[in-house]
Structures are given as C-alpha cells and as structure tokens.
A and B are shown apart, each in its own frame.
Chain A
Amino acid sequence: MHVAGGLKKTKSTKQGRGLGEPALVRWLLIAVTIGFLALFLLVPLAAVFSQALEKGWETYLAALHEPDTLAAIKLTLLTATISVPLNLVFGVVAAWGIAKFDFPGKSFLITLIDLPFSVSPVVSGLIYVLLFGLQGWLGPWLQAHDLKIIFAVPGIVLATIFVTFPFVARELIPLMEAQGREEEEAALTLGASGLQTFLRVTLPNIKWGILYGVILCNARAMGEFGAVSVVSGHVRGSTNTIPLQVEILYNEYNFAAAFAVASLLALLALVTLVVKTVAEWKVRQELANN
C-alpha cells in the first residue's frame, strides 16, 4: 500500500485493517484527538473572535484605529520587514554552507543555530540589555554617541532577529542535504557560473522550503512577546508591538480592544497555517522527486 518509501499514500479505506484494532478503539482514538484539539485550539480561537466582535463591528474597527494600536501595528510590520529578509538571507547562506560543504565544526555550528530555540525568550532579551543597556558593556559608549538601542526600535528589531534566525536555516538544511550536491556539480560542468547555478538550479529546488521557513519566521517575528517585552520599555505609541499592546489593553480591563488587537494575531496564525500546509506539501513533492 505504501509506494516508494511511503511518500505517496494511496487512498484506501483498508489502511487501518492491518493493525487489526476493533472499530470502537479506532473511533475512540479519533474522538479523543478531535475533542482535545477542539477544547484547546478551536474554542480559544472562537473565543478571541467572539470577544473581539462582542460589541459590534464599529467598536472593533474603532479599537484598531486607536493611534497607539496603529503605532503598534506599524512597529510590528517594520520589525518583521527588517528581520524576516535578514533571516532569509542568513538562513539560505547558512544552509548552503552547511549542506553543500564539509568543514570542521559543522555540527557545532548547527547546534549554535538552534540556540534561540533552546533559550528562554526572556533570556534572549536580557542578553541585549546586558550588551547595550545603560549598565551594559557598550552602554556608556552608545550614550556618549547619542545612540539608543534598548527601550527603542533597534533593540526590538535586534531581539526579534535573534529569536527568529533558526527558522529558515532549520527548514533548509535537511532539505538541501537530502537533495545533495550533484545537480550543482552538473550545472558547473555544463559551464554555469556560481550565480547561475544558484539562481537556476539551487533556488528552484528549495523555493517551497524557503516559503515554509519564511512564513514560520514571520509568524514568530510578529508574535514574539518575551524577548521584545524585555527590551521594549513599553513606551505607548512608540515601542509597543502588537503582542505588547494586547497585554497593556488587557491589563487596563479594555477587553474588547485587547481581543480586537489579538484577533489580528489569530488571523495571522490562520493564514500562516494555510500557507504552511501548502508549502509542506510542496516540500514533500520536492523531496519525492529525488
């Protein structure tokens, strides 16, 4: 029933029969899974939107048009616009280097790339306060030159870049390793330059992997709370991102506005999910064509 390493599953109703479980057990397992997902994912999602729209569309739109909220949306978009392309370039370069070349310390480098996944976001934020804060290593020098990083936009961007840099690289490394180096070598023997090889051979082979990494990277960049919270300083209308704005509104018992802003993040999550599913399917196809 499984063709070629199980990558292409044929549709069949007999698939579970091999396990020989009674129908009751099968249905029970499926019901538990669905019930669990509904309770912890679908109900909260629905709650966000119903709370946001509780007082009608007008209140909802007004909440989003509030100047501080608009500023938070702008800052979030700015942060993502800077950090996602940077991490895209970094991710492709790192994955290319790791997957296509052999050098000592390669596995150590992969571990380093994973670091932001294993460190608590709060610690990530604190690192930058330690480095650039007034009491930090570079603080006095920065102050002397009138440069502000902590409690300002540059700090938020830096912290976001730090927590999101593994996404693209982590997605591309296994994909590029599985695809090997032979197509690139073939292109070189046919007279292609390095750039031609990258643009015409490597890039088309990893485009869906890149999209997958970028969409996850973007979701995290826009939704990051911990690290950004530490370096932001929560200056209204100037250093608040969407997640921080939600928290402030919520703490002020402004529930309708808090949920309205939160619904933006929920929408982002839904879009991410759809794009991610499509990209995942395409990546599997890219691998299956090996």
Chain B
Amino acid sequence: MSIKIGSVSKNFGQFAALKDVSLTVPSGELVALLGPSGSGKTTLLRIIAGLEAPDQGQIFFDGVETTNSHVRERQVGFVFQHYALFRHMTVFDNIAFGLTVKPRRERPGKAQIREKVFELLKLIQLEQLADRYPAQLSGGQRQRVALARALAVAPKVLLLDEPFGALDAKVRAELRRWLRRLHDEIHVTSVFVTHDQEEALEVADRIVVMNQGQIEQEGTPTQVYDHPATPFVFSFLGNVNLFHGRGTAGEVQAAVEPVPAVGYVRSHDIEVERQLSDPTAVRATVRYVQTVGPLVRVELALADTGAALEAELSREVADRLDLQVGEEVYVRPRKVTVFAEDYQI
C-alpha cells in the first residue's frame, strides 16, 4: 500500500510543526524520516497514523483519501518509542489484543488466535516468554513484542516512532538489522522515525531528511549521503569541515566570480601528509590526536586563517604518519561540496 502526503501543515499553538509537507512512500518500501528533535518527523508519522489531525492537507492510502478516517479504521501498525505495551497483560495477551477486539463476526476463533500469536512469537524469537509480563522483559524484548503486536492485525502500513531510541547501543544495532531482515521477508510499507543518521543509512530503502517542519531532501541512502542537496543535510549526515572562500560551485580556490561560498568536506575526506604533493594542499598545525576505536581523530588548525579542522584517519595511516602535537603538516580535501554562503545551517 502506498502512502501519499499532500501539502500537510500542522501547528501546535504558535509552533509550526509541519509546513506544507508533501511526500510519497511507494508500496512495500522501508522509509526513514530523519531529522533532529523538533523537525516535525514524529508529528508527520502521527498524522499518517491518524493519531493527530493535520490543520491542512490530505493523506491518501493507495490513492484513497483517509484524512478524516479514524485511527482504528486506517489499519496501521504503530510501534512507540517506549513500547506502550499493556502492562497488565502477558506477552501473549498483548499480541492477541488486536485480534480479540475485532467485531464478533470478523474475530477469529480462540485456536486461530493462539496459532497466529505463536507464529508471531516465533518470528520475534520469544516463544518461551508468552506468559511473561512486560515488566519482566528487557527493552529489546519489549520492542520486539510491540512489533509483533502491531503485525498481528496484518496492518497495511507499519509506522515506527524512534523504535530503537530507548535501547542501548549493542541491542540497537542488532535490532535494526533484524528489522531490515524482517522487512525483506514481509514487505509491508513501513515508515520509521529516527534522529540517528547511521540507523537511517543502514536500515532504510529511502531517507527523507527533515528540518524545521520541512523536507530538506529525499532519496536513497547513497544519494542523500553522497549528494546532499543542502548544507543542513550535509552536516546532519556526518562530521563536516567548512572552508570559507570565494568561488562558484565546483572549486573554492579557483575564484572566477567573487561570490562568497563555503566548501563542505567530510572528516574522512581529508588527507594529511608530511610533504607537499599536490598544489591544492594547505599547511596546518596538529593540535590534538585521539584514537577512537578503529579510527584516529586529528584536530588541526589551518596555518593561514587559524580555522579549526578535523580529520579522521584509519589506524593504519595514522600509525604510518605517527603525528605529533604541534607538528606542521599539509592537508588536502579529497572531495569538496560547495554551497553559496547565504545558506544557513
């Protein structure tokens, strides 16, 4: 089922949470709404679910307008950041809930419900915990139960609000890989909200980057990462260094027209050398060297302007260079993206 969002706006008092947002989610895809807190991503998700009503605009499921239909008629599965499991029900009853509240003539029999619940328990690998209460489960287990509960009613759309936000780093990484595999199996159109760019890059088919109630860019993870449309997208998706200069789009230093411009360079796209090997390299002083796991982070100061710069080197390269604090080196950006100066991050 495809989702179409047409010019949706939403205000909370004076605060404009969404400003004229339009978006299409193709059927069967897993789409990430990525953005900082307050960017409107959760509001958009809740509007798709029907938990929030838009001030303006329409929502279509498979071309049929659902803007005014009630949450329970939309057949969406919603997974909350803090799980929202029914605390007084067992895991089994939680998952069975959606089936047991169906009108009598649509409700499956007890045996069928049991079969369906155990099928889902198997899918989330928690068969042995059917009789536990939510309070007796770990965070990762609770979130998997929440997902099974949402899937039990065979939703047309699966919506996940920061599904891994409350989990610790290791469980988070495991669970998002699991979600990716699960989606490859069941192919339900899914939208998930996250503020973690790594999560979005790893899990999603498409990424929608949001900022201040608007969509900055949408595309595949590679498109968004390699060809960011705005400085915001560039800086939100990874570490970034700014080179101020004058120039046209393309290269900063070869100034043809005197337009103020900023060159954006990722930390891992900066090369550090002892000898001047390329005319585009500039001189800089090493300020600080820190090893972070497999990477070495080097803080530098440009010799001409004194501007701070951060480079990420692999351990191998760093060991070979054996950089000392205070030492003069040459730095060379491997890849520069230029935006006009008047853009604001």
* A residues whose Cβ falls under 8 Å from a Cβ of B: 182-183, 185-193, 196, 200-201, 204-205, 286, 288-290
Minimum CB–CB distance from A201 to chain B (whole Å) comes to: 6
For the complex with contacts A183-B84, A183-B85, A192-B98, 14 further pairs of A-B residues with Cβ separation under 8 Å are A186-B84, A190-B97, A190-B149, A190-B150, A190-B152, A191-B75, A191-B101, A192-B101, A193-B72, A200-B97, A201-B86, A288-B135, A289-B134, A290-B87
Given A182-B84, A205-B87: A193 touches B135 (CB 8 Å cut-off): no
1/0 per residue B82-108: CB within 8 Å of A? Answer: 101111100000000110011000000
Contacting B71 at CB < 8 Å: which of A183, A189, A289, A290?
A: A189
Contact of B232 with A by CB under 8 A? no
Count of chain A to chain B residue pairs whose CB atoms are closer than 8 Å in the complex: 69
CA distance A186 to B79 in the complex (A): 8
B87 surroundings in chain A (CB, below 8 A): 183, 205, 286, 289-290
Contacting B97 at CB < 8 Å: which of A182, A192, A290?
A: A192
Q: List 24 A-B contacts (CB under 8 A).
A: A183-B86, A183-B87, A185-B78, A185-B80, A185-B84, A186-B85, A186-B86, A186-B146, A187-B86, A188-B71, A189-B74, A189-B76, A189-B150, A190-B72, A190-B150, A191-B75, A191-B98, A191-B101, A193-B101, A205-B87, A288-B135, A289-B87, A289-B133, A289-B135
Ranked nearest first, the 10 interchain pairs of A and B with the lowest CB-CB distance are A182-B84, A190-B98, A189-B78, A192-B101, A186-B84, A204-B88, A289-B87, A289-B135, A188-B71, A191-B72
Contacting B80 at CB < 8 Å: which of A182, A188, A288, A290?
A: A182
Given A191-B72, A204-B88: A196 touches B101 (CB 8 Å cut-off): yes
Contact of B307 with A by CB under 8 A? no
Q: Count residues of B near A (Cβ-Cβ below 8 Å).
A: 28
B146 surroundings in chain A (CB, below 8 A): 186
In the bound complex, do residue A188 and residue B72 qualify as a contact, i.e. CB atoms below 8 Å apart? yes
A192 surroundings in chain B (CB, below 8 A): 72, 97-98, 101
CA distance A53 to B334 in the complex (A): 98
In the bound complex, do residue A187 and residue B51 qualify as a contact, i.e. CB atoms below 8 Å apart? no
Minimum CB–CB distance from B36 to chain A (whole Å) comes to: 22
A289 surroundings in chain B (CB, below 8 A): 87, 133-135
B82 surroundings in chain A (CB, below 8 A): 182
Minimum CB–CB distance from A282 to chain B (whole Å) comes to: 11
In the bound complex, do residue A191 and residue B78 qualify as a contact, i.e. CB atoms below 8 Å apart? no
In the bound complex, do residue B88 and residue A205 qualify as a contact, i.e. CB atoms below 8 Å apart? yes
